Amino acid sequence: MNAIRERLERFFRGVGEGAGLFLEALYWCKAAPRNLDKIVAHLLQFGNATLPIASLMALFIGGVLALQTGSRLADFGLEGNIGGIVGLSMVKELGPVMTSLLVAGRVGSAVAAEIGAMNVYEEIDALKTLDINPVRYLVMPRLLASVIAVPALCMYVNVIGLVGAAIVSAVNPQIGVSPRLFRLNFQEVVKFGDILDSLIKSVVFGTAVALACCHVGLRTTGGPEEIGRAVTRAVVLSFMLIFVLNYVITRSLM
Amino acid sequence: MTLWSRVLGSGGPRVEREGPGGENRATPGVRVEVQRLNKFFGAHHVLRDLDLTVDPGETFVIFGPSGCGKSVLLKHITGLLSPDSGRILVDGEDLGAGDGHRRFRLAMVFQSSALFNSLSVGENVGLWLKEHRICRQEEIARIVAEKLDLVGLAGKEATMPSELSGGMKKRVSIARALAVSPNLMLYDEPTAGLDPVLTEQIGHVIADLKRLKITSLVVTHDLNLGFAVADRLGMIHEGRLIETGTPAGIRATTNPVLKAFLSTQMKVLEGGA
């Protein structure tokens, strides 16, 4: 019973601390103009770490989606609808979710490790004694970079995924849908609102990943082995947040 | 022009402050008074009614066995920890009261050096100046060069911390602290993990900086360093400051706990030699 109570207490304390960190980071966004160099540096880090893998991932996800859906649709003579079906799946679900998972794994883990190491090796204490707010200096630039980078990456993943799907649809003899037909069906089914949903999701996921990883990093204490644990904790927490928020957003946007 | 204004004054506004008694003081140092400080970590009573006074411009060395609360005391003075009871006054200003805005400047040299690994040596030293927009980039570069020169690391601005030895990291950390133009300088185990040659180098740097008349608090378990740099020393034992005095006074102590500690340290040193 005590263990359950302790876990609940820890959970609610974590939620409270996360909310506090979000509000403080939001407050420090007023200092964004004079921290542009840091924000741009983190944006480049996001791009460097994720773009090649995101391209590969999106291309194959799009291709597999087309392969799985197209062959079934062809059984009923409905292969002409593949552009819309794959487009909706990609734009509304797979694009934002897969991009955010990738960012959490590639960049979020690095953020948690970096900030965690800074905490363990007294660098955060050094910032405080220099009267530099760690949330302004460390969290706010990463949060803003994530909020900008994840939607941009998501749109890129959507486009590459659709290209992959269109290629597979065209070259697979069982499906045999031309890129033009694929595009026309996509344009007919996928509306601007669907793309907006994708953007909303990726902004929320980007915020959640950045906050979760920074929060875990800032709470890391102990020795070097704790840094490794913090990375695992940050990635798992980010994944959980993405899945839960995905359901909540999907439900509220319906 | 005083040595202080020549060497440090360029890092920020000139410090010409009024003491608690109303007298004008040219020294940049502040008076630190720790009054009946208590701190618990769970059931462990780390600091017990600790009292300490450090005069302006004085270099005070705190020593004692590991885990006696030396570093915890420093973290209270920096504001990184809050006391359970008691208070700390700096030039009469209660650190626990008010809006957290300090009328004095404080800098700390950490045991681990705590340099930012993603920044170069120059960026580390100039971080406070840049983040608080104290002056322009060219002026920051000039001050950084000046502070690095002061600790014997002239021209190392572009070097990354990972390329430095332990002793060099400590000296960069001291230069970073000096760039703040501090009124109060705290050193937490400045020679921990260094070999005797590097320890001596750091000792020379700290002793050399005494001429700047910044109030300095040095926490160490290295008595050689303590006796070399201190105006006064104090020993913490089981969370209490059990004795303070000049280096000569401490050597001639009759306090049995202090005597036992000194003789153990001397044996260790002789054994090491």
Tens of pLDDT, residues A28-73: 999 999 889 999 999 998 888 899 999 999 999 999 999 989 888 8
Distance from CA of A204 to the nearest CA of B (A): 29
Local confidence band at B1 (pLDDT 50, 70, 90 cut-offs): very low
Averaged over A197-215, what is the pLDDT?
95
CB contact under 8 A, A129 and B132: no
The Cα A165–Cα A180 span in angstroms is 12
DSSP for B244-265 reads: EE-HHHHHT---HHHHHHHHHH
- Cα dihedral B135/B136/B137/B141 (nearest 10): -50
Write down the mean pLDDT value for chain B: 83
H or E segment at B86?
strand B85-90
How much is the pLDDT for A195? 93
Q: Which residues contact B232 (CB under 8 A, 6 or more apart)?
A: B54, B58, B60, B61, B244, B245, B246
Which residue, chain included where needed, has tokens 């955010």?
Answer: A100
Distance from CA of B255 to the nearest CA of A (A): 35
CB contact under 8 A, B110 and A126: yes
CB contact under 8 A, A128 and B79: yes
How much is the pLDDT for A250? 92
The Cα B224–Cα B265 span in angstroms is 9
Write down the mean pLDDT value for chain A: 92
By three-state DSSP, how is residue B16 classified? coil
In chain A, which residues have their Cβ closer than 8 Å to the Cβ of B182? none
Which residue, chain included where needed, has tokens 């630039």?
Answer: A141
By three-state DSSP, how is residue B20 classified? coil
Q: Put residue A222 in one of left, alpha, beta given phi > 0 → left and psi -120 to 50 → alpha.
A: left
The Cα A240–Cα A246 span in angstroms is 10
Q: Are residues B145 and B157 in contact, defined by beta-carbon separation less than 8 angstroms? A: yes
Percentage with pLDDT > 70 across chain A: 100
Helices B166-178 and B196-209: angle between axes, nearest 10 degrees: 10
In this model, does residue B269 exceed pLDDT 70?
A: no
Q: Could you tell me which residues are beta bridge partners of residue B245? A: B233
Q: Are residues B246 and B232 in contact, defined by beta-carbon separation less than 8 angstroms? A: yes
Mutate one of A115, A130, A142 to test the B interface: name it (highest B CB count within 10 A): A130
How much is the pLDDT for B268? 63
Out of A114, A125, A137, name the one closest to residue B114 (CB). A125
In this model, does residue B11 exceed pLDDT 70?
A: no
DSSP for B178-230 reads: HTT--SEEEEESTTTT--HHHHHHHHHHHHHHGGG--EEEEEES-HHHHHHH-
How much is the pLDDT for A47? 85
CB contact under 8 A, A126 and B79: no
How much is the pLDDT for B265? 77
Q: Put residue B58 in one of left, alpha, beta given phi > 0 → left and psi -120 to 50 → alpha.
A: beta
In chain B, which residues have their Cβ closer than 8 Å to the Cβ of A125? 75, 78, 80, 108, 110, 114
In this model, does residue B216 exceed pLDDT 50?
A: yes
pLDDT tens per residue, range B133-177: 888 999 999 999 999 998 888 999 999 999 998 889 999 999 999
CA separation (Å) from A222 to A225, A234, B142, B197?
8, 16, 38, 30
In this model, does residue A197 exceed pLDDT 70?
A: yes
CB contact under 8 A, A122 and B111: yes
A252 touches chain B (CB under 8 A): no
Question: Which of residues 174 through 213 in chain A touch B, CB cutoff 8 A?
Answer: none
- How high is the ipTM of this complex? 0.81
In chain B, which residues have their Cβ closer than 8 Å to the Cβ of A123? 114-117
How much is the pLDDT for B95? 83
The Cα B247–Cα B191 span in angstroms is 19
The Cα A182–Cα A252 span in angstroms is 30
**Where is average pLDDT lowest: A195-204, B15-24, B227-236?**
B15-24
Q: Which residues contact A221 (CB under 8 A, 6 or more apart)?
A: A119, A120
Buried b / exposed e along B208-245 (16+ C-beta atoms within 10 A): ebeebbbbbbbbbbbbebbbbbbebbbbbbebbbbbbb
Express the helix, strand and coil content of chain A in percent, nearest 5 each.
Answer: 90, 0, 10
In this model, does residue B26 exceed pLDDT 60?
A: no
Q: Are residues A137 and A34 in contact, defined by beta-carbon separation less than 8 angstroms? A: no
Distance from CA of A135 to the nearest CA of B (A): 13
Q: Are residues B234 and B243 in contact, defined by beta-carbon separation less than 8 angstroms? A: yes
How much is the pLDDT for B270? 60
pLDDT tens per residue, range A105-122: 999 999 999 999 999 999
Structure token digits, residue B225: 């360093």
Q: Could you tell me which residues are beta bridge partners of residue B217? A: B60, B186
In chain B, which residues have their Cβ closer than 8 Å to the Cβ of A132? 127-128, 131-132
The Cα B121–Cα B179 span in angstroms is 13
Distance from CA of B137 to the nearest CA of A (A): 14
How much is the pLDDT for A79? 83
Out of B112, B131, B133, name the one closest to residue A122 (CB). B112
B116 touches chain A (CB under 8 A): yes
How much is the pLDDT for B99? 65
Distance of CA A180 to the CA centre of its chain: 31
B79 touches chain A (CB under 8 A): yes
How much is the pLDDT for B271? 57
A129 touches chain B (CB under 8 A): yes
Local confidence band at B17 (pLDDT 50, 70, 90 cut-offs): very low
**DSSP 8-state secondary structure symbol assigned to residue B93:** E
pLDDT tens per residue, range B27-68: 688 999 999 999 999 888 999 999 999 999 999 999 988 888
Of B206, B215, B258, the C-alpha closest to B234 is B258
In this model, does residue B22 exceed pLDDT 50?
A: no
CA separation (Å) from B27 to A138, B15, B55?
35, 8, 11
Phi/psi of residue B57, nearest 5 degrees:
80, 0
How much is the pLDDT for B29? 87
The Cα B25–Cα B209 span in angstroms is 19
The Cα A181–Cα A170 span in angstroms is 10
The Cα B84–Cα A192 span in angstroms is 58
A133 touches chain B (CB under 8 A): no
Local confidence band at B119 (pLDDT 50, 70, 90 cut-offs): very high
CB contact under 8 A, B116 and A132: no
In this model, does residue B104 exceed pLDDT 90?
A: no
